[in-house]
Amino acid sequence: MVSAKMTAIIAAAVMSTALGAGGALAQDAADMAKAKSEGKVVWYTSTPIEQANKIVQLFQDETGIKVELFRSGGSAILRRFQQEQSAGRTAADVLTTSDPAAMNVMAEAGTFVPFKPADFDKIPAEAKAADGSWIGQRLNLITIYLRTDKVAEADRPQKWTDLTDAKYSGKMVMTDPSFTSLQLSVVGTLSTKLGWDYYEKLAKNDVMVVQGNQQVSDNIKRGERLIAVGALDSYAAEDRQGGHEITTIYPKDGTFVIPSPTAIVKGGPNPEAAKVFAAFMIGTKAQTVFPTDGGYSARSDIDPPKGSPKLNELTVLPVDYDALEKQAGKIKEGFNDIFR
């Protein structure tokens, strides 16, 4: 089992050849005939909806197996899944979140089926469980992005700490850690590194809080707010591809690089279809969806999106996932006390 701490995520940022090496791994196989007889796979995911739909379509076209998709924010997905588990009901076959800390805890409790399909060795060690209990689907870069046409270059923040400047008052928007687990990692890390008074200063700067990253993106595109704080960079990249004038700032005091774990749920209704889908998720077809849409593949052999930096060119902020899991409730409470 991978260490829950995973503070070595910085090493994942290097994405060197050696990181994905370590010798060929035995490949676990799924029974395609049984998977086809099951006929479908139920996928709970926080994957951005357009990317999720592309993966679903590619998988259905290749296998003929239907995907029943439930998509929401990372924290909301986890709540639904855990509530069903507590009630003794297992509806999901495959679970994809953006919360390595919670996935580690559930893996240790035996919630998932260890599985090492083809290409498992191409996922860096810091983005997967060693026994295959979960495998990173993608890497999430959490950055600052802004409207290029509305914020002069000289006025653009370069660090997280710059955002407390009064000149940004009424211009910022960010997600809610009670809805998206990516923001939980950001708030948990920055509140430890900079103190809760950092968020108190942001609150005094009239930061708008919305549920998820799609709302942040929509808000920036409409011009209601001009600066996205601690937001998922793939949305900014996708919006740039759509012709919007948006620039990403990779903070000098650190960018967050957070894997999105995918796991096969033990006791799911379609166990072989789940294995086929999990294997497909880290295959070349699915993994190239992410850089095509401006995100980062979890695989060390797939290049970053066009025009985006390689991870070894960035300063990466380490996340203490062990501490994060223990303090998740207090982090959400501390944030809510300030912003609500």
Domain 9-139+259-313 maps to which CATH number in 3.40.50.1370, 3.40.50.11540, 3.40.190.10, 3.40.50.2300? Answer: 3.40.190.10
Q: Where are the domains of the chain?
A: 9-139+259-313, 141-256+319-339
Helix (H) or strand (E) holding 147, with range, is strand 135-147
- The helix (H) or strand (E) run that includes residue 222 is helix 213-222
191 pLDDT tier (thresholds 50, 70, 90): very high
pLDDT, mean of residues 278-287 = 97
pTM of the model: 0.84
Residue 320 confidence (pLDDT): 92
pLDDT for residue 8 is more than 50: no
- Is the CB of residue 171 less than 8 Å from the CB of residue 229? no
282 falls in which pLDDT band (50, 70, 90)? very high
Residue 193: pLDDT band (50, 70, 90) is very high
CATH number of the structural domain 141-256+319-339: 3.40.190.10
**CA–CA separation, 35 and 272 (whole Å):** 5
**Cα–Cα distance between 263 and 139 in angstroms, integer?**
15
Q: What is the pLDDT of residue 22?
A: 35
Please give the pLDDT value at position 26: 47
Structure tokens at 293: 């849409």
Q: Residue 173 pairs with which residues in a beta bridge?
A: 208, 228
- Asked whether this chain's domains 9-139+259-313 and 141-256+319-339 adopt the same fold, the reply is yes
The confidence score (pLDDT) of residue 325 equals 86
Q: For 222-280, what is each residue's pLDDT tens digit?
A: 999 999 999 999 999 989 989 999 999 999 999 999 999 999 999 999 999 999 999 99
pLDDT for the residue 340 = 85
Question: What is the per-residue DSSP string for 56-108?
Answer: HHHHHHHH--EEEEEE--HHHHHHHHHHHHHTT----SEEE-S-HHHHHHHHH
Write the pLDDT tens digit of every residue in 21-71. 333 344 688 899 999 999 999 999 999 999 999 999 999 999 999 999 999
State how beta strands 316-317 and 255-264 pair: parallel
Phi and psi torsions of 233, nearest 5°: -70, -25
